[in-house]
Structure formats: structure tokens, C-alpha cells
Structure 1
Amino acid sequence: MSKNISIADIASALHLSKTTVSFILNGRAEEKRISDKVVKRVLAYVEEVGYRPNSLAKSLRTGKSNTIGLMVEDISGPFFASIARLIEDRAYENGYKIIYCSTDNNTAKTHDLIGMFRDRHVDGYIIAPPPGIENDIAELLKNDLPVILFDRYLPLIDTDHVIVDNQFGTYNATRHLIEQGYKNIAYITFASTQTQMTDRMLGYHKAIDEHKLKPNVKEIVFNRNDAEVIEPLTHFLQENKHLDAVLFGTDHIGTCGLKVINKLGLRVPNDLAVASFDDYSVFELYTCPVTAVAQPITAIADSIITLLLARLNAKTKAPVQKITLSTELIVRSSSKAK
């Protein structure tokens, strides 16, 4: 039997109308008073030939595809991968499947991916948005498609979002380094105007200013290629030998930074104390375990999927929810007191 068997094929084989077969396959046999004998006959035949309904055609009939589009910066990154896994589990428990994709923080690519999701009639969107995607999000909302933003938000778009207190996270980490006796503390981060990154920068500067220290900031152009991050990072550390501590703005920069520190033969924390935003298993396994600002992964994922499921199941429009969760500073040997 052909794998592309249709409702029309089933109807023809069983000498029934397409409408009758369709009602049975869509669970409306009792409503349409179709006899149990006919229902059993159709279901037995469907089982025999291995019929699978066309999901797109079904979504057009029912208005639901029971799928959710999840768009993150990089699905292979530990932070986004952990969030995605937890969301997938909760979604599946509630009858939804997840379609993943990575945007690479690229506006044009994200625009194309949203178009692809719309073609697939996904029921809702979970997005870690790149800059410049405001019009696309506004169009989704205009069409009553629920959108949950996370990790960062778009100030001009009024929709649900789930973030952490990024500013306090870096403030707390910087203050910790200062309290350990470090005075020449660098902040190395990706150059970005996105909310999560600007808030982290503000937190660093707030702690530095409060203690009347001199800021040392290095912003690196975002790149997934480690080599493109390691090169400017190496130059910065070579040219700033007066530094006694460094706070990395993301786990990606943090892991690249540890490679550079090893290559330069610097001892942690004797030559250079280290802390990073985002906790990552590598940090705990490093020769000198790394102090990190840990995001509440489980709480983030739970908040995101709870918000989206509420939107998908709501009969009336509820107020927009903007959730900010706390981070935790996990102190390890890399920031030991001088």
C-alpha cells in the first residue's frame, strides 16, 4: 500500500463517502450517528494500511497543529539546549510537539524562520529575539498568535517575556570580586544593544562606580567561531597585564577566555581571578573551578511554557505578563581572596 494513502483512497476501498471516513478519523462518529460497525471497519482498515493523516491538512481543518515553534540563538549552546529540553518535556505532556531552530542572532534568518513556522501553522512561538525583528513579532501578535520572548525582550513590543535580573547578576559578581580584594577588574563581553547584554554591562559599571574603581571593558563582535573570539581576547589580556580579575559576560566568552588564560600560562586565581555569567559544567570541571552567575534554568523553562499554554488554552485575552527571575552567584576557587 502506498505511504501516501489518502482519505479518498480509504473511502474508495471501503465503498464509503469521504465525509463519513473524515468524521470517523476526526472523532465525530458518535456526533454524526455513524454506526459502531462502520467505525470499527474504518479503524481496522486504517490500522491495516498504516494510514497517517496529513498534519498540515488537519491543521487547516481544525485550526490547530499542536506544534510550538522554538527559536533560540544557538540550540547547541548549553543554556539554550537545557531550556529547550525542559520546554519540550512540558509541551509533550500537554499534547504539543516542539520544532526547534537556531537564529544565529541574525535578523534576516529569523524573519525567514518565522515565515517557515507560519507556513507550518504552529500554534505558538517561543523566541529569544535578535535585534530588528519587531515588525515580525508585531504581525504575529496582530494575528492573535501567542508569542513568549525569553532571555531578552524587545522594548517596543508589548508581549509576554521571561528574563532574569541580568543587571544584579553582574553587579553581584563584580562586587564579589571587589570584596575578595581585586581592584583591576575587566569585563569582557559581546558587543550588543540587546536588553540582556546592556543590563549586564550596567551591573558591572554600577559595582565599579560604587567602589570608585576604574572600568576595564572589552567588547567583542559576536561570532560562533571560537577562533574569532579568542584572537581579540588574547590581544586584550596581553595588552592589559595590570588586570587582576576578569568577569566574562557569557558562557561562550568564558570558555574561550579559559583557553586564552591557559595558552598565556596565567594561573587562576594567583595571576588572574575569573568569574563568568552563566554557569556551565565545564566551569565546575576546570582545573580551578570557576565562579559563575547561574541562571535558574528550570524556573525559566517552566515560566515560559506555563505562560504559552495559558495563552493557547485561554478563552479570553489576559494581561501581558513580564517575569523577571533571580540569578545565583556560585562561588568557586577561581575568585579566591587575594
Structure 2
Amino acid sequence: MKKKLSIKDIAEQLHVSKTTISWVLNGKADQYAISKALQRKILKHIEKVGYKPNRMAQGLRTGKSKTIGILIEDISDAFFSTLARRFEEILGKKGYRIVYGSTENNTEITKELIQVFRNHQVDGFIIVPAPGIESTVKELVDEKTPVVFIDRPLSDYDGSCVLVDNFRGTAKAIQHLIDNGYQHIAMVTLSSDQAQMRERERGYQITASEAGMDINVLKIKYHEPKDKAVIQLKNFLNKHKETDALFFATNYLAEIGLETILDLKKNIPDQIGIVVFDDANLFRFFKPSITAIAQPIQSICEQAVQLLFEQLESTSEVSPRIVQLPTSLTIRDSSANRLSKAKIPK
């Protein structure tokens, strides 16, 4: 096995001190008056021989591990996995790496992962918060560890957060269905107290009520087995036979819903229209294609990193900031205009 190069090896090869190599690698060369020519020579040689600094050892010297801990709800979910990939790209360009884990929106799992990442001396956290972690987050903040929340705020805790406008995004989608002639719109959502889910339900209820429509909401437990969720939706549709459109509050609920609709042999959009909160690639390719609310993933990640680095790079306390981003409605075939079809003579 090829021996891994050390700073000592590099120093001997270039006939300079280990301290000089370390200062160049840690961005302190100018501070210690190391010439630009020597800096270039060292960096060029390091690139040539493929030297990779030991991040943990480097962290012990500098107090920085150049690593960010990212906690998301479920890495298997298309939305969260795409977020993680974008964070890798954005932070990678800044010389940082990420470690991440799935919390399953579970308090104890989240606390355990935070402790694991603390043990690995991550420089900061980007967290999709599970309930009940306020005291753990307060410990991080007391230690001057930067923390930014995404997707939802942490209840009863005032921290920097990047959100999307769930209320207006949902209201726009429901109004789109109403404008296209759907008169009995029901919502399928999670049985959850999460802030973003409450805002989506509020957007549905207010928009449908203002249009004089009945409010019909089916709530399904998080991680409910698919077969049970399908049965619940079938029973719901059999009870509310007048339903001519469904709004799904998440893309994974929509996947269950589309399977149920196919089982019931209902035609989309002639018999039932569909709109989903949170777009996914499969919705473009589904026949018919599925109208969906798209979240600005790139902007979410960029804004979260910006808030994080405001804390990382500041020498004084940074006041918490909340950034709210708009969504966009991608209109496809599943919410086709019923009014225009009604005008076509037979």
C-alpha cells in the first residue's frame, strides 16, 4: 500500500519548515509574511503529489474541521436528497465537506445525530428540525456553534431559518383548480403539527372557503404503510364521491394517491384533477403529467449557506434572520381546464 504523504514529507521535499507548509494550507501565509512565490511553489507541489490534509488533525490545529453537519428528515425522499446534493456542491466550492443523517422527524434520533456530529467537531449545522430539540440547539448556540434551520422553524425557538411560502404556494394551486372549473376539491395531507404542513392546510382551507366550497381533508400518519394509506384514501373517495380534484400536500402522498386512483380506474383529469405540493421528476413523465408546486431548492441551499457563513465568519453575535422564498406552480396535464372542454360542441 502506498504511504500517505504527511506535512513532514512535503516540508522535506521542498526544504521548508512544517510550520510554513501549515500556514500556507490554513490560509495564514500572508499573515506570517510568506512570499507569494513560495506560496505558489508549495501549492503547486501539493497539487502535483496529490497531498490531502488530514481534516481532523487540521481541525485540532485551526479549531475548524471544514465540515458542516446537515440533518434532514429522510434522505430517501426526492426533495431532501436533492437538497443534500446541492449543499455538497455549494459548500464544496467553499472548501467544506458535509456529513448528513436522516432524523425521521424523531426527537431522540435528532439529538443523537447532533451529538455524533459534535463529537466529529463539525463547524456548524443546517437542520430540518424535529420537535423537542430546543434544549439541544440551545447548547449548540451557547457553544457558539452556528445553526440554521430549513424547511420549517423550530417551535418555541428563535433561530435563523430558510422557509418557503407554503401558504401562498398552496393558495395559488387551489385557485388554479378553481379557475379551471373544479368544484369539489379535497386535500390529502399528513397528520402532523409541522409548521409547513399547517400552512399548506391553511392555504387550502381559506382559498376553498372563499370560493364557497366544502372543506374535505384526509390526514394520513407519517410513515403509514402504503397498503393502509391506499385503503384510507379509497374509503375517503368513496365517502366523498363528488370529489373532482385532489391536492396532495407532499410528493410521497401523491405517489400513494396516484396508485390509488389507478386502482379505482379513475381518469385524470376528466374524472379527477391532481395538484401536488413539491415537484418531482416522475411527475413530468407520468401520463398524464402532474401539476406540481416547485420549491426553489437552489435558492434554499444558497440562502441557508449564506446565513450559516454569516455566523461562521462573524466575530460578534449575529441576530437570527428568517428568509422566506416563493414557490412556483408548474402547470401540467393533470389539472386541465374543464371549462374550455365544456364549451366544445359534441
TM-score (structure 2 length as normaliser): 0.84
Q: Which runs of structure 2 are paired with 1:232-251 in the superposition (5 Å)? A: 232-251=232-251
Residue aligning to 1:214: 214
Q: How many residues were matched structurally?
A: 336
| Residue in structure 2 matched with residue 276 of structure 1 by the alignment | 276
Structure 1: gaps spanning 5 or more residues: 12-16, 35-41
CA RMSD for the aligned pairs?
3.5
Q: TM-score, normalised by structure 1?
A: 0.86
Question: 5+ unaligned residues in a row in structure 2: which ranges?
Answer: 12-16, 35-41, 339-346
Give matches, 1:72-151, under 5 Å. Answer: 72-151=72-151
Give the drift of 1:61: 2.6
- The residue type equivalent to 1:147 in the other structure is V
The answer on whether the counterparts of 2:123 and 2:146 sit within 8 Å (CA) in structure 1 is yes
Letter in 1 for 2:299: A
Distance 1:60 1:289, change over 3 A: same
Letter in structure 2 aligned against 1:67? T
Deviations 1:107-126 (A, max 9, x none): 11111100110000000101
Shift of 1:273: 0.8
In the alignment, which residue of structure 2 is the partner of 1:195?
195
Cα 1:4–1:333, aligned 2, differ >3 Å: closer, same or farther? closer
State the alpha-carbon separation in 1 of the partners of residues 208 and 28 from structure 2.
Answer: 67
2:26 and 2:62 in contact (8 A); partners too: no
- Take 1:309 and 1:30, find their aligned partners in 2: how far apart are those partners? 22
Contact conserved, 1:148 with 1:304, CA < 8 A, in 2?
Answer: yes
CA drift at 1:334: 1.0
Question: Is this contact kept in 1: 2:310–2:318, CA < 8 A?
Answer: no
Work out the CA distance in 2 between the residues paired with 1:81 and 1:169: 22
The alpha carbon displacement at 1:24 in A equals 9.2
- Of the structure 1 ranges 228-237 and 177-186, higher mean CA displacement relative to structure 2 is found in 228-237
Instruction: Identify the residue that residue 37 of structure 1 maps to in structure 2.
Output: none
Deviation of residue 185 (structure 1)? 1.0
- Separation of aligned partners in 1, 2:98 and 2:308: 12
d(CA) in 1 for partners of 2:18 and 2:163?
Answer: 49
Per-residue deviation, 1:300: 1.1
Q: Which residue of 1 aligns with 2:323?
A: 323
- Residue 286 of structure 2: aligned partner: 286
Give per-residue Cα distances to partners, 1:245-302, cap 9 Å, x unaligned: 1100001101111111111101011111111101111111111111111111221111
Q: Determine the C-alpha separation between the residues in 1 that align with 2:286 and 2:138.
A: 44
Q: Equivalents in 2 of 1:273, 1:246: separation in Å?
A: 6
Distance in 2 of aligned mates of 1:293 and 1:300: 15
How far the C-alpha of 1:25 sits from its partner, in A, is: 8.0
* Cα gap change, 1:205 to 1:97, in 2 (>3 Å): same
Question: Which deviations, in whole Å up to 9, do the C-alpha atoms of 1:72-102 show, x marking residues without a partner?
Answer: 1112222112222222111111110111211
Conserved 8 A contact 1:3-1:51: no
